[in-house]
Amino acid sequence: MALLEILTVPDPRLREICKPVTVFDTRLKKLADDMFETMYAAPGIGLAAPQVGVLERLLVADISSREEGEKPDRHCLVNPEIIWASEETCPYNEGCLSLPQQYAEVIRPAEVKVRYFTVAGEQAELHAKGLLATCIQHEMDHLDGELFVDHLSRIKRDMILRKLAKFKRGQE
């Protein structure tokens, strides 16, 4: 396995719409494994393929705390699509590995049902609630070239993007 580079704003690849995965092979499995390793090292709870420069519809998520003794809750979704979303919504203070150190409250459906494929090419469904639902919706946005800041008012979005630019200048 290998750690992959996580792209950050303003990389234009983060705004691309990803193509569906059509080949379920060892390359896809390795990509998923590398994405999990990269996500854990970051550390994060979700990662979408375009965040590592791969413009394919693939995401990984694990909302477990990774405390000693807690079992991982790994999810790998290929070509995911939301087939149902609750009317009830839930606010969550979201962050993103592609917008380091930036957070804002985003309101999303509290529950979703997602149809997807496994890396082996088998169709499956997942009913996600709470943080997992938020995480999956956040990562699915990446597959369509959207970022969590796109759910904010223009003023809040611009403020976060300015803070990110300042943060990045401080890192150089």
| DSSP per-residue string spanning 16-63 | SPPBPP---SHHHHHHHHHHHHHHHHTT-SEEEGGGGT--BSEEEEE-
Q: What is residue 172's predicted lDDT score, i.e. its pLDDT?
A: 65
Domain that holds residue 55: 12-171
Given 67, 139, 146, 172, the catalytic residue: 139
Return the DSSP state at 3.
P
Query: 130 in a domain, yes or no?
Result: yes
The stretch 104-115 carries a mean pLDDT of: 98
4 within a domain of the structure (yes/no)? no
Q: Is 62 in contact with 47 (CB distance < 8 Å)?
A: no
User: What are the pLDDT digits (tens) for 12-22?
Assistant: 999 999 999 99
- Taking 80 as the threshold, does the pLDDT of residue 57 lie above it? yes
Provide the domain count of the chain. 1
What is the structure's pLDDT at 171? 75
Highest mean predicted confidence (pLDDT) among 70-74, 121-125, 168-172: 121-125
Q: At residue 137, what is the residue type?
A: Q
Q: Is 146 noted as a catalytic residue in this protein?
A: no
Q: Which CATH number fits the domain that encloses residue 28?
A: 3.90.45.10
Mean pLDDT score, 22-34: 98
Higher pLDDT, 42 or 71: 42
What is residue 167's predicted lDDT score, i.e. its pLDDT? 84
Q: How far is 31 from 6, CA to CA, in rounded Å?
A: 13
- The answer for residues whose C-beta is within 8 angstroms of residue 122's C-beta and 6 or more apart is none
**Domain assignment present for 1:** no
